[in-house]
Chain A
Amino acid sequence: MKTEKLMMKGNEAIAEAAIRAGCRLYFGYPITPQSEIAEYMSRRLPEVDGTFLQTESEVATVNMVYGAASTGKRVMTSTSSPGFSLMQEGVSYIAGAELPCVFVNVVRGGPGLGDIQPAQSDYFQATKGGGHGDYKLLVLAPSTIQEAVELTQLAFDLADKYRNPALILADGMIGQMMEPVELPPMRDLSTLPDHSDWALTGANEREPHKVTSFNIDPYGLEEMNKRYQEKYTRAVREEQRWEEYKTDNAEYLLVGYGTVGRILKSVVDKLAEEGIATGVFRPISLWPFPYTRLRELAEAVKFVFTVEMSSGQMVEDVRLGVEGRVPVHFYGRMGGVVPTPDEICSAFKKLL
Chain B
Amino acid sequence: METKIAFGGPKSLSGKEFTYCPGCHHGIVHRLIAEIIDELGIQGKTIMVAPVGCSVFAYEFFDVDGTVAPHGRALAVATGMKRALPDRVVFTYQGDGDLAAIGTAETVHAANRGEKLTTIFINNAVYGMTGGQMAPTTLLGQKTTTTPYGRRAKNDGYPVHISEMLSTMVGVAYLERVTVSTPQDIRNAKKAIRKAFLAQIKNIGFGLVEVLSTCPTNWGMSPVEAQRWLLENMTKEFPLKVFVDKVGD
- Which residue numbers of A lie inside 8 Å of B, CB to CB? 25, 27, 51, 53, 55-57, 59-61, 63-71, 73, 75, 89-90, 93, 97, 200-205, 208-212, 214
Are A60's CB and B76's CB within 8 A?
A: yes
Q: A64-B76, A202-B47 are contacts. A73–B84 as well, Cβ < 8 Å?
A: yes
What are 22 A-B residue pairs whose CB atoms fall within 8 Å in the complex?
A25-B83, A27-B83, A53-B79, A53-B83, A60-B105, A63-B73, A64-B77, A65-B80, A66-B73, A67-B49, A67-B76, A67-B84, A68-B83, A70-B81, A73-B84, A201-B85, A203-B65, A205-B44, A211-B66, A212-B59, A212-B67, A212-B68
Within 8 A of A (CB), among B47-92: 47, 49, 56, 59-60, 62-70, 73, 76-85, 88-89
Closest chain B residue to A53 by CB distance?
Answer: B83
Residues of B within 8 A of A63 (CB): 69-70, 73, 76-77, 80, 106
Closest chain A residue to B79 by CB distance?
Answer: A64
Q: How many A-B residue pairs have CB under 8 A?
A: 127
Are B77's CB and A203's CB within 8 A?
A: no
Closest chain A residue to B85 by CB distance?
Answer: A71
Question: Is B46 an interface position by the 8 A CB rule?
Answer: yes
- What total of chain B residues lie within 8 Å of the partner, measured CB to CB? 36
Question: Is B152 an interface position by the 8 A CB rule?
Answer: no
Q: A56-B105, A60-B109, A202-B44 are contacts. A70–B67 as well, Cβ < 8 Å?
A: yes
Additional pairs, 14, CB under 8 Å, beyond known A90-B73, A93-B70: A56-B108, A56-B109, A59-B106, A63-B70, A64-B80, A65-B80, A67-B77, A70-B67, A70-B77, A71-B84, A200-B67, A204-B45, A208-B65, A210-B67
Residues of A within 8 A of B82 (CB): 67
Bound-complex Cα distance A210 to B76 (A): 18
Question: Is B43 an interface position by the 8 A CB rule?
Answer: yes
Contact of B77 among A55, A66, A209 (CB under 8 A): A66
Of A53, A60, A65, most B-chain CB atoms within 10 Å: A60
Are A204's CB and B44's CB within 8 A?
A: yes
Bound-complex Cα distance A64 to B81 (A): 7
Bound-complex Cα distance A70 to B90 (A): 13
Are A27's CB and B80's CB within 8 A?
A: yes
Bound-complex Cα distance A13 to B82 (A): 28
Closest Cβ of chain A to B92, distance in Å, is 10
Closest Cβ of chain B to A197, distance in Å, is 13
Closest Cβ of chain A to B169, distance in Å, is 13
Are A202's CB and B79's CB within 8 A?
A: no
Bound-complex Cα distance A211 to B105 (A): 24
Closest chain B residue to A89 by CB distance?
Answer: B70
B21-44, CB under 8 A of A: which get 1 and which 0? 000000000000000000000011
Bound-complex Cα distance A261 to B45 (A): 49
Bound-complex Cα distance A93 to B83 (A): 20
Are B65's CB and A201's CB within 8 A?
A: yes
Are B80's CB and A202's CB within 8 A?
A: no
Closest Cβ of chain B to A283, distance in Å, is 31
Within 8 A of A (CB), among B102-134: 105-106, 108-109
Closest Cβ of chain A to B147, distance in Å, is 27
Contact of B47 among A25, A27, A200, A205 (CB under 8 A): A200
Closest chain B residue to A69 by CB distance?
Answer: B80
B1-39, CB under 8 A of A: which get 1 and which 0? 000000000000010000000000000000000000000
Residues of B within 8 A of A53 (CB): 79, 83
Closest Cβ of chain B to A102, distance in Å, is 14
